[in-house]
Amino acid sequence: MNEVCFFVRGYNSFMTTLARYNQLKQELHYHLYRYHVLDSPVISDAEYDRLMEELKAIEAEHPDWVTPDSPTQRVGIAVSEKFEKVRHPRPILSLANAFGADDARAWYERIRKLDPRVETAGFVVEPKIDGLSVVLHYQDGVFRQGATRGDGEIGEDITANLRTIRAIPLKIPVTRGPEMPANSQESESARQLALFDASLSPVSASDLPAYLVVRGEVFITNHDFENLNRRLAEAGEKTYLNPRNTAAGSLRQLDPAITASRPLTILVYQVVYAEGGTPPASQWAALQWLRALGFPVTDVARRFDSLEEALAYVQSWEDRRDELGYEADGFVIKLDDLRLAEDLGFVGKDPRGAIAYKFPAREVTTQLLEIEVEVGRTGVLTPRAVLEPVEIGGVIVRNATLHNFDYIAEKDIRIGDRVLVKRAGEVIPYVIGPVVEVRTGAERPFTPPAVCPACGQAVEHFEGEVAWYCVNAACPAQLVRNVEHFVSRGAMDINGLGIRIVEQLVEAGLVRDVADLYFLQKEQLLALEGFAEKKAENLLQAIRASAAQPLHRLITALGIRGVGEVMAADLSRAYPDLEALSRASVAELQQIAGIGPNIAASIADWFSRPANRALLAKLKTAGVWPVASKQSSVTSHQSLSGLTFVVTGTLPTFTREGVKEFIEQHGGKVTDSVSKKTSYLVLGENPGSKLEKAQALGVPILDEQGLRKLAEG
Ligand code: IVH
């Protein structure tokens, strides 16, 4: 890498080892800052490692030179028994809560009456990070001590643990250090880097208070939390409930080596105390000042002149809080004028000059009353939690998913447990895990059923899968879901045949398999509740029209385990009709790209079952017998490889899973939130806030047709 030549060149003859040592320390601080605070490294990991090795080598030769701010000093020795107490230089206050805009307006009115300056003070709005409040002490710019909030007066000394968090600068201000002599080629890259750095406007060392105490929130990003839990699960170890508990547990470890192994980070938001220097008098300036010193500071904070503007901004985050990438339980609205905020004083531990605008909680605890087992379309048995009804984010939740039987065993979830339940965005509520600390001993472990709860047939398990199945094609519980899938948008797309009508048809005995749909008579429909002439005619017309759907849609509609929209298209290209497909052997099916042994076996198994063969014959009689066209609309080469997509809104023909499968089959990746790394936003009807974000970041936008073109191109 050219840009960094002047950093990594070995120390030359005219430089003393001590000078090189000091320079290395400064450069490593700078690179840690680029990586962990700015998210924008300028050297590769290998180059970083090389600098670190050089530093370690010098320290091994000269142990007396090592200072506490050396980048090698992140992981120290374990605390023996408990943490020492630390008195905070000033009280570490809490915040009063506002639940909604009216609460916030009432707060404003209260403080406006106390001091009319409030009217012109302005507001700073920041995310309220759901982590742990910590207090960091710097003496002459060197990190000396760090503490928990404790009771607000006295906290615990967790310095050794905080040192392991790479986003916490060990030395401030973070600067890039003196440039080394450069040749002409290097000087251009050096110049470019300097230009980039100038935009950071570092505070010069002479402006730095001799003793500075700042406050921030330590947390784990959602992404890092998921990775950590995945790694633990793979290693067969116990997983954590949520990022906040994990961060809290990690900070209170007596052994800093354990803390160092957890992906903790920090955002700093307050100057608590400054001696020998004047910190900014407004919150907005304080944030810029902290950033310029090299502290990680949120880039989501905004300043507004009026409360109403501030509230509108806060509310704009309510539905898109997941885009923050970490858990935030609300936003903090702070008076920008810190002198005024100070003068207003506090009530108990809550300063009058700020308020926490709380978002509805998304995680709550409740009692797990029972575990029921449902039978899905493909016969998968899914455990479902029956909960003591509880409100989560304005909705009463009575049931939550438990994913699968392995999940219940892994998390040791027992009937009667107090469980943590999460409901966020479009995600179905799910049980995160038990709160083991409050077990009474009356909880019962759950045993998965050996037979299908709907039809009584023994359940089966397939090699390499976690799910258990009821493989009885005539299982009544499966029929409704089967028909529902058969008529769905990505399959036969029969308009007007919603779940209610499917249930009616099955209940009345008019539909015993999906082929029965094509033999329905108008009189039969008219006998059902809610059916009049017109509705019956429309439905029959829609069913008839669906008989002309292409082969790949019919294959999708059959609901063969492991065969989605894209694989159905691949199969329809390889076989001219269902007769030919039904004769394909497992070995032959595996010749098709993307079909492995499990899915090949599942396809062959489906066609070998007499009930399914009878179904095919019935479909043929009904005239539902498409023959593959030469050119299928879906291809499966890796044309989207290296591209990342985000989907928003409803697409004309794809379902959510369908479009994901389509993109992945073509080598692309689908993620949930828009970032600079997103290659395309796929836009459907009624898009969410992702559209705005994509537009703001200049992410190109495609509709479904555009996506298909790109994949085929
Ligand atoms: S300001 C006077 N700002 O929320 C200053 N607090 O419920 C009071 N928190 O104990 C705190 N993000 O741990 C402030 N941007 C932020 C915050 C924040 C998270 C936490 C903090 C505090 C708790 C109050």
- The residue length of the chain stands at 713
Q: Are 627 and 643 in a shared domain?
A: no
What pLDDT is stored for residue 632 in this prediction?
A: 45
What pLDDT is stored for residue 10 in this prediction?
A: 45
270 C-beta closer than 6 A to ligand 1? yes
| Nearest atom within ligand 1 for CA of residue 341 | 2
What pLDDT is stored for residue 204 in this prediction?
A: 65
**E strands in 119-233:** 123-129, 132-139, 142-148, 154-156, 211-219
Cα(314) to centroid of ligand 1, in Å? 15
Q: Are 376 and 417 in a shared domain?
A: yes
Distance CA 678, CA 689 (A): 15
Burial level of 347, CB count in 10 A (0-12/13-18/19+)?
A: exposed
Q: Are 111 and 232 in a shared domain?
A: yes
**E strands in 61-161:** 85-87, 96-98, 123-129, 132-139, 142-148, 154-156
What pLDDT is stored for residue 80 in this prediction?
A: 60
What pLDDT is stored for residue 645 in this prediction?
A: 94
pLDDT digits (tens, 9 = 90+) for 151-170: 899 999 999 999 999 999 99
CA 27 to chain CA mean position, Å: 33
Q: Are 122 and 109 in a shared domain?
A: yes
CA nearest to 561, candidates 612, 505, 512, 513:
612
Q: Are 300 and 377 in a shared domain?
A: no
What pLDDT is stored for residue 184 in this prediction?
A: 40
Q: Is residue 449 part of a domain?
A: no
Q: Could you tell me the two tokens for 531? A: 């059916």
| Nearest atom within ligand 1 for CA of residue 133 | 13
Q: Is residue 454 part of a domain?
A: no
Cα(90) to centroid of ligand 1, in Å? 15
Q: Are 664 and 536 in a shared domain?
A: no
Residue nearest to atom 13 of ligand 1 (CA): 133
354 C-beta closer than 6 A to ligand 1? yes
Q: Are 401 and 508 in a shared domain?
A: no
Q: Is residue 294 part of a domain?
A: yes
133 C-beta closer than 6 A to ligand 1? yes
Q: Are 601 and 504 in a shared domain?
A: yes
Cα(652) to centroid of ligand 1, in Å? 44
CA nearest to 108, candidates 92, 126, 120:
120
Q: Are 477 and 574 in a shared domain?
A: yes
Domain at 42, CATH number: 1.10.287.610
Distance CA 267, CA 657 (A): 36
- Residue 3 per-residue DSSP state: G
Q: Which domain holds residue 392?
A: 363-438
217 C-beta closer than 6 A to ligand 1? yes
536 C-beta closer than 6 A to ligand 1? no
Q: Is residue 60 part of a domain?
A: yes
Name the domain boundary from 413, 438, 463.
438
Do the bridges between strand 346-347 and strand 350-351 make them parallel or antiparallel, or are there none, so unpaired?
antiparallel
Domain at 405, CATH number: 2.40.50.140
Q: Are 12 and 115 in a shared domain?
A: no
CA nearest to 653, candidates 707, 694, 589:
707
Domain at 576, CATH number: 1.10.150.20
**Residue 677 contacts residue 699 (beta carbons within 8 Å):** no
Burial level of 13, CB count in 10 A (0-12/13-18/19+)?
A: exposed
371 C-beta closer than 6 A to ligand 1? no
Domain count of the chain? 5
Q: Is residue 325 part of a domain?
A: yes
Please give the backbone phi and psi of residue 621, each rounded to the nearest 5 degrees, phi first: -60, -40
What pLDDT is stored for residue 24 in this prediction?
A: 93
Q: Are 110 and 124 in a shared domain?
A: yes
Report the chain (713 residues): mean pLDDT per 10 consecutive residues. 39 70 91 82 82 92 90 77 90 91 96 96 97 96 94 92 96 70 44 49 71 97 93 82 90 92 96 91 96 95 97 93 93 98 92 94 91 88 95 88 92 95 83 91 96 91 84 81 91 91 91 95 95 95 95 94 90 93 95 89 94 94 85 58 89 82 85 88 86 87 89 75
pTM score, whole prediction: 0.65
95 C-beta closer than 6 A to ligand 1? yes
What pLDDT is stored for residue 123 in this prediction?
A: 98
Name the domain boundary from 438, 456, 481.
438
Distance CA 367, CA 388 (A): 5
What pLDDT is stored for residue 426 in this prediction?
A: 64
What pLDDT is stored for residue 688 in this prediction?
A: 77
Tell me the C-alpha to C-alpha distance, in Å, between residue 43 and each of 56, 255, 475, 515, 547.
Answer: 19, 31, 61, 63, 60
Q: Is residue 464 part of a domain?
A: no
What pLDDT is stored for residue 187 in this prediction?
A: 46
Q: Are 165 and 234 in a shared domain?
A: yes
Catalytic residue (choose from 128, 171, 660, 690): 128
Mutate which of 99, 128, 303 for ligand 1 pocket (most atoms within 8 A of beta carbon): 128
The radius of gyration of the chain from alpha carbons, rounded to an integer in Å, stands at 31
- Residue 492 per-residue DSSP state: T
Q: Is 554 helix (H, G, I), strand (E, B) or coil?
A: helix
What pLDDT is stored for residue 625 in this prediction?
A: 95
Cα(283) to centroid of ligand 1, in Å? 13
Q: Is residue 522 part of a domain?
A: yes
Q: Is residue 533 part of a domain?
A: yes
129 C-beta closer than 6 A to ligand 1? yes
Please calculate the CA angle 529-531-535 and round it to the nearest 5 degrees.
Answer: 160
Cα(354) to centroid of ligand 1, in Å? 9
Tell me the C-alpha to C-alpha distance, in Å, between residue 617 and each of 357, 486, 544, 612, 620.
Answer: 62, 17, 17, 9, 5
Q: Is 661 helix (H, G, I), strand (E, B) or coil?
A: helix
What pLDDT is stored for residue 277 in this prediction?
A: 80
pLDDT digits (tens, 9 = 90+) for 593-604: 888 999 999 999
Do the bridges between strand 680-683 and strand 644-648 make them parallel or antiparallel, or are there none, so unpaired?
parallel
56 catalytic, yes or no? Answer: no
Name the domain boundary from 358, 387, 407.
358
Distance CA 216, CA 22 (A): 28
Distance CA 294, CA 266 (A): 12
